[in-house]
Amino acid sequence: MSLPFDEASAAPIRRQADSDTACLLLHGLTGAPARDLWFLADYLTGHGISVVAPLLTGHGKTWKELELATAESWQNDARTGLDEARTMGKTVFVAGLSMGGTLTLYLGEHRPEIAGLVTINAPVYLDDPKLRLVPILRHFQRSQPKSPPDVADQGAMLPDLGFNSMEAVYQFERLMQGVRGNLDMIIQPLLSFRSMQDHVVPPRNAEYIQDHVNSRIKSIITLERSYHCATVDYDRERIAVGIEQFITLVRGQQT
């Protein structure tokens, strides 16, 4: 039985630090800010980086709310979150887990003023052949059972919907397709984390993304101990430290 979302686990995050640097954090499909991103938010704020992490449309309740979301509504959430982050710091970075990483790439394609991008197990394609049927199935099947959150750390109790909206899966496919076709528009520094034991997103996505962007500074960090939800898994501190070091590196090259 899945642990349901409540107000605390679905809450957006907004923390102002004493610096001119801010980071927008974006959660994954069926996730939420306080579920997926609490450790990153704590760490970055503790190192002087302001953080904002919005709740994406349809998330944090049940799959029935999720089926009302669209690729465009998530893109709008990401743009709004970026605008909020820009009120918190002159220099803004964006980092996202899973679908949040896909949205991070979307912002990079359309907002060149972003200082740097970080993706964590972000997909621009999925291998599951059953996804080819989703555009049709969504008209006959509203939801499907989903596996528990993919974490190696079994002590991590993560709220979960228990089901996924077929319409949301279709909208996620639309989002990935659009982002995949415009990767060459990305010129910002890019750091990609990928878990080698990811049971949701093929780890090869990281290479595909890096091969198709036009970033001069780009690198991949491989995570050996974590599964898909790596930001709350065994490598969460490594990710947080890596992001803080990436931000410091990029800021240093701008001065």
Task: Report the catalytic residues.
Answer: 98, 198, 228
Give ∠ CA 180-75-189 in degrees, rounded to 5.
Answer: 55
CB neighbour list of residue 228: distance below 8 Å, 6 or more residues apart: 98, 121, 149, 150, 151, 195, 198, 199, 200, 201
